[in-house]
Structure 1
Amino acid sequence: MRKLVLTGGPGAGKTAVLEALKRRLCKHVAILPESAGILFSGGFWRLPNQEAKLCSQRAIYQVQKEMENLVDSQAKYFVALCDRGTLDGLAYWPEDEETFFRTFQSSYTSEYSKYDLVIHLRTPDSEQGYNHQNPLRIETAEESKAIDEKIANIWRAHSNYKQVLSRESFIEKMVEASGLVEEFVGRCSICKK
């Protein structure tokens, strides 16, 4: 199964793009929700200390990994569209990257190989429309930009990494991102639509 990651810092527009794509894509495209959203909206504690951050990131990684394993086992899908990938957790990891990879017994090469395409929606600054409409978002505009830069540094060596820059018009950003997704998905190999 081909997999694509839609990533970006907080407030980049991933949720809005995914909502628009749900209405347009074939039912044979699996859209995997963000693991952090599943955990935090379900009551997983979100505390500021280092041990809590490590616990959160380990849980997020495992939920993402198991969702990807689950979709791989389902013959009714031909593409998986992931709201973030397992490697996104490195941007939030409170220790060094060596510890991250040792914890998950992984590497950049192993993580990159899971995904055929990475689309990075860049986080806008406060002048370009960063907002706090998502109740799970706790970061300031400045913190979000810093996380977004970490995400760029983590994913940019992927062989099929694409960036969608912020613009004054979010609609233009959404159209570009949706176009990249639809081009990747192409024609459904199951229903031929």
Structure 2
Amino acid sequence: MAFTGGPGAGKTAFLELARQTFCRHVIVVQESAGVVFGGGFPRDDSLVCRQAGQRAIYYVQRELEAVGESRDPAIVLCDRGTVDGAAYWPGEPDEYWAAVGTTLEHELARYDAVIHLRTPTAQQGYNNRNPLRVESAEAAVAIDERILAAWSTHPRRYVVDPSPVFLEKVMRAIDLLRLEVPRCCGGEADEGDEEDGWR
């Protein structure tokens, strides 16, 4: 399951809360862009560098998801998904799919559901205190729109709008997530469920 949205939408904070709310069979996969750029991958405005960065993020994302799947999860929650790269690609989205050797349809099918947390505008409380976040409020909203378009054909996409109270936005997303996880993983196990089991 992918959690997406533009910069500053609250995905990372939400997924940390999800990690604390649900059982250990709900695996959270960190954002691959943070791994790539936080690890020192070059980041400048040249076309070659931007395209290389998006290819690296795609492959790291796939491998992080594979590791999550290997841990006997009830569900894997991804901080972004591979489809996000089309919104960041410097050029036409179709060029992105060719560059990473896949198709939009194939990547959409990899995720059972998508929750899109919308990026707040500057007036709604956008902040860029994250040292890896380089986008202005206006640029972040524009990226959010491109991400919304990239995932638009997924059959089970939920969109969570900004809220003046961030906790309200987070709780709406948690409620949507509860629809996807097994009851035992959400702390609502039926009597007789095994303590460690989710199946």
| TM-score bracket for this pair, using the shorter chain length | over 0.9
Distance 1:183 1:134 in 2: 30
Aligned-partner SS, 1:52: helix
Counterpart mapping for 1:1-193 below 5 A: 4-74=1-71, 76-188=72-184, 191-192=197-198
Contact kept? 2:3, 2:79, Cα under 8 Å: yes
Unaligned regions of 5+ residues in structure 1, if any? none
Contact kept? 2:43, 2:53, Cα under 8 Å: yes
Q: Which runs of 4+ in 1 moved over 6 A?
A: none
Provide Cα deviations, 1:34-80, integer angstroms capped at 9, x if missing partner.
Answer: 00001111111111111100010000000001112222233x31210
Contact kept? 1:90, 1:97, Cα under 8 Å: yes
Unaligned regions of 5+ residues in structure 2, if any? 186-195
Offset at residue 134 of structure 1 (A): 1.1
Distance 1:118 1:149 in 2: 15
Instruction: Provide the residue aligned with 2:192 in structure 1.
Output: none
Distance 1:187 1:147 in 2: 35
Contact kept? 1:78, 1:188, Cα under 8 Å: no
Distance 2:113 2:146 in 1: 18
Q: Percent identity?
A: 44
Provide Cα deviations, 1:148-187, integer angstroms capped at 9, x if missing partner.
Answer: 0000001011000110000111111011011111221132
Offset at residue 94 of structure 1 (A): 0.4
Offset at residue 103 of structure 1 (A): 1.3
Contact kept? 2:25, 2:198, Cα under 8 Å: no
Q: Which structure is larger by alpha-carbon Rg, 1 or 2? A: 2
Q: CA RMSD in A?
A: 1.5
Q: TM-score, normalization: structure 2?
A: 0.91
Distance 1:169 1:28 in 2: 29
Contact kept? 2:116, 2:157, Cα under 8 Å: yes
Number of corresponding residues: 189
